[in-house]
Amino acid sequence: GENVEQHPSTLSVQEGDSAVIKCTYSDSASNYFPWYKQELGKRPQLIIDIRSNVGEKKDQRIAVTLNKTAKHFSLHITETQPEDSAVYFCAASPTGGGNKLTFGTGTQLKVEL
Amino acid sequence: EPEVTQTPSHQVTQMGQEVILRCVPISNHLYFYWYRQILGQKVEFLVSFYNNEISEKSEIFDDQFSVERPDGSNFTLKIRSTKLEDSAMYFCASRTDRSRQFFGPGTRLTVL
């Protein structure tokens, strides 16, 4: 089955700096890659996603890049703000069947003032 | 904006007891999921459900677990005989025919 690795497990940046979180996946059948933000005790919230026919997608301060050949994808947050502090999870999913999400192990992002 | 809802927010039960966790998916969504998250760990897939049947389940989803869509709005997860290791946050999610899954707020299950 699919295995998603995520790095780093913790990331501390100064406010205004950029943050990059990286994930790799193992199953070449995966073609949908969402990113979720989870604040303490809250639900995972979808912040951006990318499908395999696209190499990059941007939404304001957040961008995701995908390299299908290397089976890795990354989340980029620019101009970080304290409210960006949370745990970020990457995930991968194939189309077809149940479309289950296989999650990475999460990155605790802390944006310091 | 419509959201997935779940009840209860917190359930405490004794080991060996049955629990039912309830979810109301977003109304026009067709695919439903249960995931669980043990404290401090990643979110793990349990089961997916479409067209009134299970489409995929994980090895966690053994005979103690079952799902049901008893009416047009609710989606339930039943754990027949709870174990200590079932203690976790259980999230329901739903999606349309596109891939985006939206999660409910979760039910924290504590098994004593």
Those of residues 26-55 in B touching chain A at CB distance below 8 A are 31, 33, 35, 41-45, 48, 50, 55
Nearest 5 degrees, angle CA A33-CA A37-CA A39?
A: 160
Task: Provide mean pLDDT across the span B64-83.
Answer: 94
Kindly state the tokens that stand for A104: 């990475």
E strand or H helix that includes residue A101: none
Q: What is the pLDDT of residue A96?
A: 65
Q: What DSSP line would sit under B38-70, residue for residue? A: -TTS-EEEEEEEETTEEEEE-TT--TTEEEE--
Residues of chain A found within 8 Å of residue B50, distances taken between Cβ atoms: 98
Identify the sign of the CA torsion A88, A90, A95, A101.
negative
| Mean pLDDT lowest among A63-67, B55-59, B69-73 | B69-73
Nearest residue in chain B measured CA to CA from A31:
B99
Q: Would you call B63 exposed, middle or buried from its count of C-beta atoms within 10 A (0-12, 13-18, 19+)?
A: exposed
Does residue B54 contact residue B75 with C-beta atoms inside 8 Å?
Answer: no
Q: What is the pLDDT of residue B7?
A: 97
Q: What is the pLDDT of residue A99?
A: 86
Q: List the one residue out of A87, A83, A79 whose CA is nearest residue A35.
A: A87
Kindly state the tokens that stand for B12: 């405490």
Q: Do A46 and B101 touch (CB under 8 A)?
A: yes
Does residue B46 contact residue B55 with C-beta atoms inside 8 Å?
Answer: no
pLDDT confidence tier of residue B64, bands split at 50, 70 and 90: very high
Determine the 3-state secondary structure of B85 from DSSP. helix
Nearest residue in chain A measured CA to CA from B90:
A43
Could you tell me if B65 lies within 8 Å of chain A, comparing CB atoms? Answer: no
d(CA B3, CA B73): 13
- Which residue ranges of chain A lie beneath pLDDT 50? none
Nearest residue in chain A measured CA to CA from B104:
A43
Q: Do B43 and A101 touch (CB under 8 A)?
A: yes
